[in-house]
Amino acid sequence: MRRHINASWDINAKLAQLFDKPIAFRAKLAQCNALIAGSFALQFFERVHWAESDLDIEVQVGANLDAMHDFLINEAGYQFSLNNKERGSLAKPQDTARPVTEYVYTGTGGKYGTRDVVECRTYYQERGTTIVKAQLIATKDIPVQGILRCYYTTCIVNFITWNKAYSLFPIATFVDHETIPLKRLNNQEKRYHEKYRPRGWTMKASPPQVLETGFVTTVRASSGQRRVGDRHTWAIPLDTAGVTPAPTPDYVIESSCFEVYTTTTSRRSSSKINADIFASPGLQYM
């Protein structure tokens, strides 16, 4: 069904910078229950373009990860990097047929954490005079849990499904242009935050105290319980003309609950997000 979509948030035009057939890519997102996240989603909401940024795709390890890998290699024309850190090291076409585990970079902390993310795979493609990069971030469980529990600051807690874009802290991120750390600020995390300062975001060292912006005032208070589809979330419906719908309904994502809370010590306060899996044998979708 074609919807009236604001041209300012044309997802197909945005993805055309990375894919010759963005609709086919979105259909693969739907099939694999994968999510676009990271700086690409932030740029989409902000309606800007950063030439140096890449595309982060969160997908659950297993059949969905394998299907997305095959799509990038066989249909989208990407090459699997043998070296996760060197932009110029592209896998030769014959190398991509070898077992994928031989090339995998396994994250051990830092940007992605270890609790929910199994590995990060990097892909490159030459498009004109530039090289674009995509990353498959393989999550242990459903991708939205990896985003909620692993991301290090609030301005990047946004993601895009095959048919909608979601920002969980839109007032702080796009009205106040502030970002709140979600992890302890060691030297590495400070470097991650610093890259958003020239892009227009100020790091707020202390936790926000206004519930209306989607945050809380007390430690693990009931008022800190949120869900992806609640009134604090900014959700943008996308034009789905030509995109094969996902087998999983929207309410699975929009009913995903999480808790925003603050922890206070004698030296500092900090914000955190908790999102645990609830499994029921009586429900089809978890």
pLDDT tens, residue by residue, 26-80:
999 999 999 999 999 999 999 999 888 899 999 999 999 999 999 999 999 999 9
Q: Taking the C-alpha atoms of 139, 158, 111 and 39 in order, what is their torsion angle to the nearest 10 degrees?
A: 120
List the chain residues with pLDDT less than 50. Answer: 1-4, 83-113, 209-213, 216-222, 266, 279-283, 285-286
The 10 Å Cβ neighbour count of residue 125 is 18
* pLDDT computed for residue 53 by the predictor: 85
**How far is Cα 38 from Cα 44, in angstroms, rounded to an integer?**
10
Contacts of 194 (CB under 8 A, 6+ apart): none
* pLDDT computed for residue 20 by the predictor: 96
**How far is Cα 245 from Cα 61, in angstroms, rounded to an integer?**
21
Phi, psi of 264 (to 5 degrees): -125, 130
Q: What separation in angstroms does the CA of 199 have from each of 46, 169, 173, 178? A: 11, 17, 12, 11
Angle at 164 between CA 161 and CA 170, to 5 degrees: 105
* pLDDT computed for residue 92 by the predictor: 38
* pLDDT computed for residue 87 by the predictor: 38
pTM: 0.81
